Structure 1
Amino acid sequence: MEVVTSGSSSLQIPGYRILKKINQGGMSTVYLAIQRSVGRQVALKVMSPVLNADPVFSERFQREANIVGQLSHPNIVGIHDIGRYRSLNYIAMDFMPGGSVSERLEKGPLAPLEALHVVRQIAMALDHSHSKGYVHRDLKPENILFREDGSAVLSDFGVARAVARTTRMTNSGMVVGTPHYMSPEQARGAAIDGRADLYSLGVVFYEMLTGAVPYQAEEAVAIAIKHLTGPIPRLPSRSAVYQPLIDRFLAKDPDKRFQRGLDVSDAMDQWFSALAGKPSNQVSQLNNASVGIYSLARALLLTLYSSAKERFVFALKRGRTHPEQPQRAQTERDTLVRLHQLLREPAKHKRPWLAGGLMLLSLFLAWSLFSLISAKAQWRSGILLLDSASRLTAGFLSGQADSPLHTPDTAPDKHPAAGVQTAVLGAISGGNHTTAEPVAPAEDGRPPQDPGSGIVKTAAPNPEKVNNDSGTNQARPSESPETPPTYALNVKTSPQDARVRIMNIAPRYQPGIKLEPGKYDLEISRPGFTKVRRWVTLKDSDLTLSLALERTYFAGKKIRSKLPSGGWGPQMIVIEAGGFTMGSNRRSFSSPAHKVVITRAFAISTHEITFDDYDRFALATGSTLPDDAGWGRGDRPVIHVSWEDAQRYVQWLSTETRQRYRLATEAEWEYAARGGVAEPFWWGDDDARGKANCRRGCNSEFNSLFRVTTAPVGHYRANPFGLYDTAGNVAEWVQDCYQPGYDRSRTDATPLLIANCKLHSVRGGSMRDASSKISADYRKGLGDDSRLRDLGFRIVMELE
């Protein structure tokens, strides 16, 4: 049985080892705990004493939570145990380390596509629960959590339902639901069904897009009145393309909303298809042309107007940076892509000329506005965008807007509107690189070329003969549009065996490949190197390019390996190869000082391995959980582990991640701990005050006359290589067998291995050592089975 002290009260839950408090709210407190029976990390939610004091609630809670615990869906939090101990009701559920939507909103609105994905996943969870007869009643950002892989899950079903059905609790003033997210019928106190949850989901969707709830007031009653009588809120112009979804979600009449979560999922799938350039064959209330074209045209106009306004401000304040530029370009692209999909769908309305006229008028007004602005700021891409959109609309009015949408993976321009421009040009040309549009040839006889896109326009053949000097009627061979000139493209790569592909044409790349003038999407790749993707323009001559690839692992890069069983491995940082002077002549057991060369880059854990890291291994393998000496677990360095325990940990981690993990060698450890500094301490001098956790000379807040403890990892500043706590805190096991002093002839970083080795090296000193014993050159030997309260380890990952 564990006792957790919080303030003046103590909490006892049998069967659980409680590690720390995660969160506390008005209805419950959540702890991170280990369920002893299966060795599983869980989130242990303990109900508030205000609720527990009512026996009606306790009875109802147990009954409802048991039923809800039977819900099984990947987007509903899994419940492992429900119980009551003394006067406490509790639930043991999946631990969600990714936080909540509420926490993400603290940093600002979510990206539209991320918000759509969250809505879709929660809608599927609601559809499952509604099909079982369960309405959530309290859907809000705090109840939408994220797994480590980023998937969204819905929590708190049992609590909401139990509170809702406990008459005494509601009569005594307990509000069921949160006013900002309550549906109109819920605010009236009327009977509700699953459509009330979908209304709440719409409010959350609005908040994810804008960063604010749609209805705001100082009192709950005023907020409820706004939900009952206020107009459906309008999204900002930047997100106006998503207004049809908000209109469906937040309809006052439940019959006009989405009727079930599956309808929401279908709508999201159609939306994703549209944004990906894959028009859906389904026609629903959401994408029916009879109701969607006008609203989408209005959204397009608002989006273009807002973009023009912001670009005008940008021109006046050219010196400032605007981090929202890429997001603005994506919004414009989303709008036009969705517009193109709707234009391709067969018209269902009675007045196609009216919708087309409104569309043309909207685009004409937007084109006029952009023309005035671009005359000053020379926004060429904006003109091309609207010119392309105008041609798209003209094709729609003439019945020719039926070419598939083509959106290259990588836009050839870096301008914010380049992605939209490319998408619209691709839609007009049908994804081809030539167009059948008759264009007069240039004076030199070559086919003309679009100056902005690199698309070659092949001139239409002239049926009339041209008289030559001899008086015969023959076509001039130099003016023949059927044989455009070609030029050689050569790509020289470093390393030389890198793979070169041209992504937007069918023929495979060969050195010196002959191509027509235009823009080509190159991809250069090689295992162990970072892939390069770029557009190149072939004009009127041969082109030779030289491209050098960077290694995938560069100095300072941070790496975390995903564990298939859930969670992530320790954070690693890449250390580049190099040389240094190892050891010190001032210590007999660290002498002689000698040159060592690290020939290969490696990654080493930025922190000492923590209890969080090690407990995950122990629970997965059934190993003994090491004692924390009463100092706390979580992000404190693991202690009471032997050299053999550390070996088992790296073997497990290697198997889980399919990477090569091991303990650091002495040479690797000292090279990384020094951080490129020749002095014994990476901070340069002998003054360790405020720089490490040690017994004497550090002035550590974790050490006092009667008590010495570890510090949470990363509490002190990192060394120049980005490593924390290489001096003090806990001493660290390394791979080498220990012997006093060094062999001067050993100049590489391989570990020292001795037959029947019983002592292994320990580096870095600990919080129980004086500052003189925490330098980078300090070392000692301990038996393999030693388990001490000031001894831990960090690890290395080998790089390809």
Structure 2
Amino acid sequence: MLKTSEWIGRELKGYTIVELIGSGSMADVFLARQPSMNRWVAVKVLSGALVNDSQFVARFRQESQIVAALEHPHILPVIDYGEAEDTPYMVMRYVSGGTLQDLVQKGPLPPKEVLRYLNELGQGLDYAHSLGVVHRDIKPKNILLDTRGNSFISDFGLAKIVRGGSLTHSGVGMIGTPHYMSPEQGRGQVVDGRSDLYSLAVIVYEMLTGRVPFDADSAVGIVMQHINDPAPNVTRIASTLPPKLDPVIARALSKNPDDRYPTAHEFTDAVAEAFGTAVVNGPVISRPPLTAGHSKKDTWSARAMRTLSNFPQNAGQRRGPMLLMGAGVAVLAIVAALWGSGVFASATTATPTATQASVAQASPTSAPTTAVPNTPTSIPPTLTATPTLVTNVPIVPTPTSEPGNAISPKDGMELVYIPPGPFLIGSGENDPNAQTDEKPQREGTMPGYWIDKYEVNVGQFQLFINETGYETQAQNPRGSFGIYVDMGGVVFSPLGTNYVLNAYYLFPEGGGGEQTEALRAVVMVSYTDAKNYCEWAGRRLPTEVEWDRAARSNDGRIYPWGNELDPADGTRANYCDRNCRFVQRNTNADDGFTRTSVVGSYPAGASPFGVLDMAGNVQEWVDTLYDPLGFFIFPTPNPNGTQYITRGGTWLDKPTGIRASSKTRYAPYERNNITGFRCATSELP
């Protein structure tokens, strides 16, 4: 019998276990890869505590066969069954859009969405009931959603198995989940399909009002309300609903199964009639899950967004470690909005080359430019995204084509040559705000290299997505841990620091925010995402020393332009000025932006080599592991840590946070709305 962690990396007859995505008292659920079909699947493995119960194992096998026979478009299909290490497992379709619970936790759903889900779930339940299968645990958490918002009933049969074993739910010897449990379930009586329809009615009540009809301090208290108390009218909770709904919902929640609607179809028709409309079929959801994203634990544990209450709201702090230490967690729920129809449109033709899209805009005025090599790279095989195409917008600022600079034929980026020579890295005595990990100041020499003049922008990143089909870790959180196993990322905003489901590079603040512009610096990208982009572009991430020298030359200056930042000067960098709504804002300066800026907007803030945006706007990934000792030992051997450094400060930082030597660190899978990147290369062809 294997421990849960020992399943990771195992081969199960054509399936490779990748990571744990859900765990409960009865089973563990793993994300797995099926190479023969080039797809992800979910593998449910019976809990080690139950594998020695022969009756339980036999029933698990029997139930897997029953569920496999339920071929319906709104029932999660079971693909395979097997046994390994004397432990049975089921292989199921991997559904990546979260759960219905993710939606209802935000509040009431629009009537069209309610009717859609009622219709889909009702069809699935009527079908299962026609074959004599009763679910017994219908609840929003067990309703999975795909990336188009289609719903799937999952976890058939588990409650029936538990009933025959020694385990019970909620410590009261009853089968099911108290908030969604029928009165006959609460009494421990034999149930049929009408019990599932009662649970479905509770879900409809919750979708309409944003709350369940019965709640109490204990599971027993909730069950007793289901048995004895009438449900409050839905119009009492949501006064804008039509009064005709009250008798419909009341009948569906009748205490006596004989008084309920006999089928979900009849219940659905009654709800539609109360709304004065017909049943809605198909994708009408107004806030669907992110296209081609892969939610991991949300699919099984129904988490949508977490408020990390202990984040610092002042700038210049070490946000990475604070994130890992986040304390209070409150489920709030934000779901991504539909992609806008302005800058980004669905691809219908072949993706243009970067040369066509951007290099053609360059108008050299002096020396000719040199092409950066187009080095092929291998992108991880998670390419399930439907690419979108950037159309009718410039994707990079028009290059200045200064003598000695180069233009990449891959993404149109202008590269600046940093000649070989001496450098100073770290903060000196002239910087009173220097932190321990920035000290002491060291000197050395280094060979020449090339570095991007600008931070990579959204349009350039979209070219990469179009050409490769790559999914960012915000869309497909493969290889992530902790809170980052969910789709989305951390969003810093004046309202707090939140983990927002479905925030990603096009909507860096999630569905409640605006779609970003093509010329702004790309954010919501992890170290892994940035590294893949740079490899695709024929370059790499810069090291910390390379980044530092490009920003500060060899004189150890505090900012790229010198040692001072005039408090009233908004021309050198994008930082927390009067447009910023954080407490640390500087009301004397106006840099023109409230969040990320268009790259290259501050030529007065250029480094001695002419590299732009190395202070403020977005902090940038570098390919160097963090060492808390700073430069005490230099050159620093690769430390044993697992966090990578970001440099340069952000749009929410005060002046001390955008000092050139300021640094933060994150795990390679972390992503947020303040971190971007630029690339570098050692040589041109």
TM-score, normalisation: structure 1: 0.42
- Which has the higher relative contact order, 1 or 2, with Cα contacts under 8 A spaced 6 or more apart? 2
Which protein shows a greater Rg? 1
Higher helix share: 1
TM-score, normalisation: structure 2: 0.49
